Each structure stands twice: as structure tokens, then as C-alpha cells.
Structure 1
């Protein structure tokens, strides 16, 4: 969806397709008809934005074939869909039975991660609507925290220099600007805003910046106003925002049914104590209250004593979009965990999933409208 900020800036609001498992082009196009078109129709909007997730194998094929990129763009346009942002965090196999730590590999020490991100930038340059100001690609926060060494930090610094140069070449050859956004996440080398500022201090901020995931921000127990002020002070741009909410509870036992085998659910309390997953938090009897990296539907309140971190989302949106000028223009709803919710909350059919995603987007649109953003 396209919304208009009071400054006249277009804000792009869509949903991230990493919630869907397809990893080949035919499967991705099939998703459009199964999910995206019904969502667009439910929302009553002429154009729906998708934050496409393209696994590395299909990205490599698309990047090598201009005709396939033309085909993909035509398939999107024919359905009233558009793409200004790609999710380049999961490399592949994001819906395997067990993902956990594998989602952080390959990391930014490797040539594979750089090549994948270049492929996404080339693809996005051709998918961007003609009137879009720029595109964005979100990516992992450098690496998982262990192992990490000075040698690895040097390797990452070289990759980021190569990345900036490659993005400049894409812009020179296509006339389209694509920026890459690093997404702080609990447990990673870049977990907090302070760490983002430190590790990206030498980055080309015209092409590289931050993807602010609001569930991750909450799980780090960061205050949105202070975090965003620090980014502005250091001149590190917010390239993309992922609208997400995590679980919170003062009674950790209420989270027991959310401990599941596919994704990692990093858990933190406000005293700085942490576990890499819910299973570990229970085993260690981590003191509460807990915030757990488990993306839950934005519009739905869980049964007490569980609650969500949507108050953090609202506070962050006020800072991001409530002022004279927006701090970011790309907003993606990113609830990828619909398929692993407790059975009573899990959609049983594609239609139910499409309905749930549409309700999330309605919620996000209303939050922005409350801040004076219009359709």
C-alpha cells in the first residue's frame, strides 16, 4: 500500500513473503494468487506492496536472466502488486523442520553472502516501480555472536566496502538506488543500536544502514525514542522498518506452548539475563519477566498473562512517522511464524492465513493513520 506522510513523502507499507515456503519462481508466482491478491482485495487497495523473500538459488537465476526479471515484474503488475524491498536475511531453507542457528549462515564474512545480496540488488533495481524513490534489501546483522574475532571483523569490513561499491555500480548501470539494511537481532554480533553504530561506523551511509525490526528492539529492552535519537545523532539511516511484535510475560510458564523446534526464540529479561532459545530459558529457570523473540500477529492479543510488545511498536512508529518528516519510508509487516503458532492459533488453510495477514496490515495502516499518515 502507498500512504502519504504529512510532508508529502510516500510511505510504502506491505508484508514480507518469508512467511511462505516457496523457493522457486513458479512457487513464488503461485503465492501471489493464493495470498497476495486476496489480501489486496480484502484491504480495498489498488496496489499492495510485497517484501519479497527470494531464496539464494532463485535469486541467482533471476539475477542472471533479464528476461525472467521482466516476467516477474509483469506478473506482479498484472495482479496489482509492487516491490520496493526484499528480505535478504534467510539464505535458503527457511521453512525446513529445524532452522534455528542455520538462518545466520552464510554470514557477512563470506563471499556467498555478498554474492547473494548483489543478486538481490540487481533484481530489485528491475522490479522497482518507475516512480519509487529507491529500493531496500534487509540482511542479517553481520553474524551470530559466536565465533567472532578481530579477523572476522576485518573480513566483514572488507565485504561491506565491496558491497557499497557494488551497489554504486548497480545504480550507475540501472539509474536505480538500492540500499542494504542490517537488522539488529538478539544474540548476534549486532544486537543493540549501540552495537549497530559501533560496527557500522565506517559504513557508506548513503548505501548502507539499519533495518529496524520492532520485535527485536523490544526483546533487547531498548527504548525507541533513545534508540532512534542515537541513530540520528550518528547519521546512521533507518533504511527499512519491520513491523513486528514479540511475546512478553511476567509468568514465564505461560510461554511453555510457544517452545517449538523450527525457529530460534531468543529470550531476555530487563536485567540483562538472556537465553538463546525458549527451551534454554526454561532449562535455566531464567528469572522473569521475559520478552521472547517470537513474532506474533500484530492485531491479536494473546490470552493473559501473555501480552505482546505492541506498545513498543506504537512508540517507535510515533518517532518514525509522527514528526514533520518521516525517518523511514519502507515498512514491512513481518510475522513469519504463523505456521508454528500453537495449534489453536494457527491458520488451517491458505484463506485463513491470507485473512490473518490482511488484518495485520489493517492494524498497521490504522496505527499510521493515527499519526496523520493518509491513504
Structure 2
């Protein structure tokens, strides 16, 4: 049954931002992943391209990569256009969202990704480019919405022209994320209501449903997916990812995962049910110093999806187990454990290659087990 879902991993787990780095990582990891997880069929790629890599790709390199895919029995299923710049080995934090949809550089970058993807995707194929959820919450103002809408309409019109010329059907996949302008399902629905995109362009936009992000928000997989479907919003892809969680006094153990590269947004549930949101773990630490014992807390830290517990705390694997069987068949699934390199060393259970294969196998097994029960 799992073959009904195109399944891959996102190459944003690999360091390096230039095109040479991308190729080196693909050559090091993709052949083994294909042999382990897709020995009898071409292996789909969830390709992360930074702005630098996209600019370095000339016509010859684009054609050469097409040949490489043919030789290695792979194809580009979709592109991650969320991180614009450096994503590993430096303090990324809130810069991961820059430039955001208020900035013309985000427009030019996304159009460039579409033009490249059009060269790699078969005519009339359905594919997607994931992107930031408008902007980071701090510093965004209601007065920014007209600029955001104009930029998005510009990009969607570009996608429509690509399709009119016989290229693939590309969707922009907005990815809700904690502490951003769009984080909860209700905010995603309100975004589409606010934007009221022209009817001719609505087929070119949808959501990237990141399971880690929505689990951190204490959302119900069944309710969230039903609300999205009821609003007629397409899920362009599902990112199969898992977060950290702890209850009661154990919440303090989550602070051990604070590290300098990425934001680790936290959502804390008080004993009375109120949800408190923190942009990063230091904010959670300051709240805990007050001495109040929380009910539960969840933290945005992409941990290996097959683990139910890690480093003395739990994970949100349960969210994946509830969500995956509810995903419509045909929806691309993309494992995205990009934080592997910043896990505490004692918790890195496998090599990166072994972890990729183990995660993809876990998704297949979970889907097969769920569907065999029905």
C-alpha cells in the first residue's frame, strides 16, 4: 500500500549550499538510498536548492543533472525552496525565513526554482516548491499584506505561464511553522481567505503539511486534515517529521536540546489548558524558572521519526502514526530530519545513510500496517 505514496527524504539534511555540494551529497547518499528503499522503481528526490545553487545552475549543468538522474534511476519529485541561504554549520535561527514574502528576492528565487524544475519534470507532471509561511511573526505588520499578496500573485502567474508553455503543473507549498505568520491550521485557512487569489491561479498554490510543526501546535491530525480538505485547499506535500515532547517536571529536560544553529520553538500547555508560545528554548527556560509545573511542552526539533523516546524525553511519533493513514493517496511524502547533525552526539544512533534508510522503511511499514487493518 505504501507505493501509493511517492516517498523520499529532503536533501536539506545535507550540509553545503553550492551546486557542487548538492551533487556531492547526492552521489554519496542517493544511490544507497535507492537500493535500500526503491530497488525496483526510480527513486524520487526532494531536492533542496539554495539561491546560490540555483544561480550556479547553467543550461549545461541542468542538462547534465537530467542525465545523472537517468543513469541513477532517480527523478526530481519536488524542490525545497524554503531556506534561501546557508542552512548548516552557522547560526541560522530566524534568518531561515529571510528573505520572506515581503522581499522581491524571494520572488526572483522562487521563479528561478520553477524554471529549473520545469527542465527536470515531465510535461504535465504535478510537482511543488515549498516555501516560508509568509514571514517570521516578529516584525510582521498588517500593512505588509498587500505586498505579500502582490508577490505571491506574481509567482503564481509565473507558474501558470510555465504550464501554459507545456511545462509541469507546479504548486507553491506554503509551510506553516511555529512562531511564524502562519503556524496553526486556522491561520492557514485564514490566509487563503485573506488572499483571495484569482481563480485562474488557485491550482498553483497549496500547503506543505509538516507533521512536526503541527504536532508542536497541539493540533489533532484528523481535525487539521479535515479542515484543510473542507476548505478545498490542496496539500502539495507532507513532510514526515517528528518533534520533542515532555510532561510535568520532565519538561526541563527539553532544555538539553538547546543549540546555536536552529530555532527550536516551544509550545507549552499549562495545567488549565492555556497554550504559551516561545520563539526558542531560552524563552522556555526563563518561564520554567518561575517554578510553575506545566502539563506538557512540545519543541520544534526534527528528531528521527522512528523513535518514540530520545534522550530521556518523548517524541511526537504518535502524531505521525495518526496522520499518515489519513493522507490522501498520491500525496508526496518527504522525510525531513534536518537536525540530525545537531543532535547531542550520544543520541546519534546511526550513520546518516543508515538513518535515511531506516526512516523511509519506517514510513513504509507504518503505512502498510495501517492500511492492512482496513
TM over 0.5: yes
- Give the match for residue 20 of structure 2: 26
Report 1:314-333 matches (<5 A).
314-321=321-328, 326=329, 329-333=331-335
Q: 1:59 aligns with which of 54, 68, 78?
A: 54
- Give the match for residue 360 of structure 2: 361
CA distance in 1, matches of 2:261, 2:352: 19
- Give the match for residue 10 of structure 2: 16
SS of corresponding position for 1:273:
strand
Measured against aligned partners, the alpha-carbon deviations of 1:20-52 in whole angstroms (never above 9, x if no partner) come to: 112222221111221111222223524222211
- Give the match for residue 345 of structure 2: 343
**Runs of at least 4 residues off by over 6 Å:** none
Residue 238 of structure 1 pairs with residue 251 of structure 2: no
- Measured on the aligned residues, the alpha-carbon RMSD in Å equals 1.9
Residue 79 of structure 1 pairs with residue 72 of structure 2: yes
CA distance in 1, matches of 2:339, 2:180: 20
Using the TM superposition, name which of 335-344 and 77-86 deviates more: 77-86
- Give the match for residue 257 of structure 2: 258
- Give the match for residue 104 of structure 2: 111
SS of corresponding position for 2:371:
coil
Using the TM superposition, name which of 249-258 and 205-214 deviates more: 249-258
Residue 294 of structure 1 pairs with residue 301 of structure 2: yes
Measured against aligned partners, the alpha-carbon deviations of 1:328-361 in whole angstroms (never above 9, x if no partner) come to: 521100000000001112368xxx1100111000
- Give the match for residue 43 of structure 2: 48
- Give the match for residue 273 of structure 1: 276
Contact kept, 8 Å, 1:266 with 1:276, in 2: the verdict is yes
Using the TM superposition, name which of 40-49 and 237-246 deviates more: 40-49
Gaps of 5+ in 2: none
- Give the match for residue 208 of structure 2: 211
CA distance in 2, matches of 1:173, 1:26: 30
Relative distance call for 1:369 and 1:262 in structure 2 (3 A) is: same
CA distance in 2, matches of 1:57, 1:24: 6
SS of corresponding position for 2:327:
helix
CA distance in 2, matches of 1:174, 1:55: 26
Using the TM superposition, name which of 176-185 and 120-129 deviates more: 120-129
Normalised TM-score (structure 2): 0.90
Shift of 1:305: 4.6
Report 1:168-247 matches (<5 A).
168-201=160-193, 202-203=196-197, 204-247=201-244
Using the TM superposition, name which of 329-338 and 299-308 deviates more: 299-308
Contact kept, 8 Å, 2:308 with 2:317, in 1: the verdict is no
Shift of 1:211: 0.3
Shift of 1:314: 1.5
Shift of 1:302: 2.6
- Give the match for residue 8 of structure 1: none
Using the TM superposition, name which of 65-74 and 227-236 deviates more: 65-74
Residue 334 of structure 1 pairs with residue 331 of structure 2: no
SS of corresponding position for 2:309:
coil
Shift of 1:116: 0.7
Shift of 1:126: 1.5
Corresponding pairs, count: 356
Contact kept, 8 Å, 1:205 with 1:237, in 2: the verdict is no
Measured against aligned partners, the alpha-carbon deviations of 1:40-87 in whole angstroms (never above 9, x if no partner) come to: 22235242222111110121232xx33321111211221222211111
Measured against aligned partners, the alpha-carbon deviations of 1:253-277 in whole angstroms (never above 9, x if no partner) come to: 2223211110000000232111111
Contact kept, 8 Å, 1:17 with 1:51, in 2: the verdict is yes
Residue 94 of structure 1 pairs with residue 91 of structure 2: no
Shift of 1:12: 1.1
Contact kept, 8 Å, 2:81 with 2:131, in 1: the verdict is yes
CA distance in 2, matches of 1:288, 1:277: 19
Shift of 1:129: 4.8
